[in-house]
Structure 1
């Protein structure tokens, strides 16, 4: 049986972030500024290196010197990231097509089993449980139940039960 829990109980068990709720404007502004400064810290070194190439006259005026190693490094970085991007696009395209193929041909079949056989087996196992442990209502509603030694199931109980049931039909 599925247990219904309140919103407060769900907040305790799940990740809770007030940033996405109504209100909390001070927290939202502070966190947004920190995120913006963080991204500026990530992007600024790239801008610092690219600036002399994009604005060479301004770089000379500000005494920013472009070294040959910087050009070589940027050229290598551009080639490496371009090849990585192409490789990842090809890889993810192949994986997506493969996943769609598997979903269409293997996972989305109507029946993966014999429904009539499952129905017969379910009936057999329910009858066996009723004989050994009592009715379904009793089993589901009792608070404490002690299984007697002779009621224990053998290791191959279900296998033998299914074989007998199929032979009887």
Structure 2
């Protein structure tokens, strides 16, 4: 089987070389974390100073509307974190039961079916337009009118071949 058909994704960040990509993505990641964490630090320090009468934390502002907003935000975030915790615990429970074999395991993604569909599509395209090397290495290719694909034709071809193999 072709090596490219076995993997459905590629990440240049983890491949050898590509230093420009690695440096750029690392800088963007660090800047993103800075943009994410800075408001949290400011809000937490101000809220601590507000709740402890300036014993801990630091006031970044002193207006009443801001403190009302912080009180609402703390209530809202507490509710959101509680909801997320329930969701995560429920999914963890299901995953533990699946790992122990107590629950039927259902496939999340059928790689065999996906590879079969890719091969069926490749067979159709080879019949219609020539082999893969020719299609990828040709600079100019004129499609004759009878070679045009109708709407969803490739999808229908793959589905029809799939149903004929299953029967």
TM-score category (smaller protein): 0.3 to 0.5
Task: Give the TM-score, by structure 2 length.
Answer: 0.44
Q: Which has the higher contact order (CA 8 A, sep 6+)?
A: 2
Task: Give the TM-score, by structure 1 length.
Answer: 0.43
